[in-house]
C-alpha cells in the first residue's frame, strides 16, 4: 500500500480552542509593565494545584527545570546521577551541564521505565541523585523507588516531561520526590509551544531555584547586582496564558489521549507479536505517545519501518535509542558498562516506534494506521 496522495498524518499535534486564543490575546494586550506576571501567577497556581505541589515555576523547558534542580542541589564534577537508559537526551544533558556523570539504568520490560531493582544495580558511593522518567505517559513504581532513595539519603527528581495528567496510586505525575519537571513542547499533552514547569514542596530548595533561574538575583531585585552567576530561564506571558488555558482543560485532554490509545488497542491489542504501551497496576497512563514494539525480526529496522510508514502517508517517531548507544555518550565508561548491563533497553528500543498520537486523529486515520501496521507485519522487515 503506497498512497503518496494522502495527506501526511502527523505524529503529534495540539488541541487549541477559543479559550487558548482568548487568553493569549489578553496576555498580548495586557500582560506588560506592572501586569507582566499576571498569567504566570495564575498558571503556576493552577499547575501547582493539579500536581498537588506547594510551589511551581514556569520555565522555557523541562530541560531547564532539571538543570535548576541539579544546580540547586550543588551536584557537580565527581558526582553520579542515575537515570533511565531509554529516554530523550534532555533527561541526561542537565547532568552533563553541571559536570556530573550520568549513569544509565535498565528499564522494566512492561512499563519501559526504571525500577527500584535497576536503579539499585547502579548505586555507588558517588551517587548523588536519582532521576526517574515517566516515559510516554507511563509511570515507574514510585513507592519502591522513593523508599530506595530515602534509604540511601538521595534526592529523587521526577522527569514528568511526557506525563502531565498521569497518576500513580491516585497521586498525580509531578507529585513525587524533591522536585518534578514538565515539558510543554508543541508535541506534548499540554502545550505552550515551548516551555516547562518545575514543581516542589521544599520552600528552601525552590527559593534557590528561583534565585538561580534569573541570573543569580533574589526575586523582586531591581538593583541588577547579581551575587552569583546564574541562568536565564523564564517563560513569556503569552506562553503562560496558553499554559493556563491548557491546564484548565487537562482532564479533557487526558480523556482524549486515553480515547486515542483505546482505539489503537481495540485494533492492535490482540495482534500476535507486537506490544503496546502498558498500564501497570496502580498507574493511570496518560498515553502521550502510542508506541508499538515490533517482533524481534524487526530489530534494527526502525529507519526502514519509518520510511515504509511515510510512503503510506503516516509520520512516526523512533522509540528513544538507549542513551548509552547514541554518539553523545557512547564513548564514555558509563555507556560501555550500560551496554553490557541493560539487556531490556537494548532489546526493546531497536524495534519500537511511536505511532501518530495527535489530538486531530480521526477514527478513519486510526483504522488506516492500524491496517498499515498489520500489512507491514505480514510483509516483514525490508
Task: Enumerate the active-site residues.
Answer: 188
For helices 237-248 and 18-30, the axis angle rounded to 10 degrees is 150
**Whole-angstrom distance, CA of residue 249 vs CA of residue 266:** 26
Segments in the chain forming alpha helices (H) = 18-30, 38-51, 62-72, 93-97, 116-120, 142-151, 203-212, 237-248, 250-268, 302-311, 333-341, 343-348, 363-379
**Whole-angstrom distance, CA of residue 254 vs CA of residue 24:** 22
**In this structure, what is the dihedral angle of CA atoms 375, 317, 280, 85, given to the nearest 10 degrees?**
130
**Whole-angstrom distance, CA of residue 92 vs CA of residue 323:** 8
**Closest Cα partner for 98 from 77, 113, 78?**
77
**Closest Cα partner for 212 from 194, 196, 233?**
233
8 A C-beta contact, residue 45 and residue 260: no
8 A C-beta contact, residue 121 and residue 148: no
Give the three-class secondary structure for 17.
coil
8 A C-beta contact, residue 369 and residue 8: no
**Whole-angstrom distance, CA of residue 181 vs CA of residue 104:** 19
**Whole-angstrom distance, CA of residue 19 vs CA of residue 248:** 10
Cα–Cα distance list, 128 to 78, 153, 286 (Å): 10, 9, 30
**Whole-angstrom distance, CA of residue 87 vs CA of residue 289:** 13
Residue 69 burial by Cβ neighbours in a 10 Å radius (0-12, 13-18, 19+): buried
Identify the residue whose cell numbers are 502527523: 10
Amino acid at each position: 500500500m503506497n498512497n503518496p496522495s494522502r495527506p501526511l498524518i502527523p505524529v503529534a499535534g495540539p488541541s487549541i480552542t477559543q479559550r487558548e486564543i482568548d487568553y493569549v490575546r489578553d496576555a498580548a494586550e495586557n500582560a506588560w509593565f506592572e501586569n507582566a506576571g499576571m498569567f504566570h501567577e495564575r498558571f503556576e497556581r493552577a499547575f501547582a494545584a493539579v500536581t498537588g505541589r506547594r510551589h511551581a515555576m514556569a520555565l522555557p523547558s523541562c530541560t531547564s527545570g532539571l538543570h535548576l534542580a541539579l544546580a540547586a542541589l550543588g551536584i557537580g564534577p565527581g558526582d553520579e546521577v542515575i537515570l533511565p537508559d531509554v529516554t530523550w537526551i534532555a533527561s541526561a544533558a542537565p547532568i552533563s551541564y553541571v559536570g556530573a556523570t550520568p549513569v544509565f539504568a535498565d528499564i522494566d520490560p512492561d512499563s519501559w521505565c526504571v525500577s527500584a531493582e535497576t536503579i539499585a544495580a547502579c548505586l555507588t558511593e558517588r551517587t548523588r541523585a536519582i532521576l526517574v522518567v515517566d516515559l510516554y505517559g507511563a509511570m515507574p513504581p514510585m513507592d519502591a523507588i522513593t523508599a530506595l532513595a530515602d534509604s540511601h539519603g538521595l534526592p529523587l527528581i521526577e522527569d514528568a516531561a511526557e506525563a502531565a495528567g498521569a497518576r500513580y496510586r491516585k497521586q498525580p505525575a509531578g507529585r513525587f520526590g524533591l522536585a518534578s519537571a514538565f515539558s510543554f513542547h508543541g508535541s506534548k499533552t499540554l502545550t505552550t509551544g515551548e516551555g516547562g514547569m518545575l514543581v516542589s514542596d521544599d520552600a528552601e530548595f525552590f527559593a534557590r531555584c528561583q534565585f538561580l533561574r534569573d541570573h543569580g538575583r533574589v526575586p523582586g531585585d531591581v538593583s541588577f547586582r547579581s551575587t552569583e552567576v546564574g541562568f536565564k530561564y523564564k517563560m513569556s506571558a503569552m506562553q503562560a496564558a496558553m499554559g493556563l488555558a491548557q491546564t484548565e482543560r487537562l482532564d479533557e485532554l487526558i480523556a482524549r489521549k486515553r480515547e486515542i490509545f483505546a482505539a489503537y488497542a481495540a485494533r492492535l491489542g490482540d495482534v500476535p507479536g507486537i506490544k503496546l504501551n502498558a498500564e501497570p497496576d496502580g498507574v493511570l497512563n496518560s498515553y502521550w505517545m502510542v508506541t508499538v514494539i515490533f517482533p524481534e525480526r524487526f530489530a534494527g529496522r526502525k529507519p526502514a519501518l519509518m520510511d515504509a510508514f511515510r510512503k503510506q502517508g503516516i509520520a512516526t517517531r523512533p522509540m528513544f535509542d538507549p542513551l548509552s548507544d547514541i554518539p553523545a555518550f557512547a564513548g564514555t565508561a558509563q555507556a560501555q558498562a550500560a551496554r553490557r548491563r541493560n539487556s531490556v533497553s537494548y532489546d526493546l528500543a531497536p524495534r519500537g516506534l511511536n505511532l501518530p498520537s495527535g489530538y486531530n486523529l480521526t477514527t478513519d486515520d486510526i483504522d488506516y494506521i492500524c491496517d498499515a501496521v498489520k500489512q507491514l507485519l505480514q510483509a516483514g522487515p525490508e
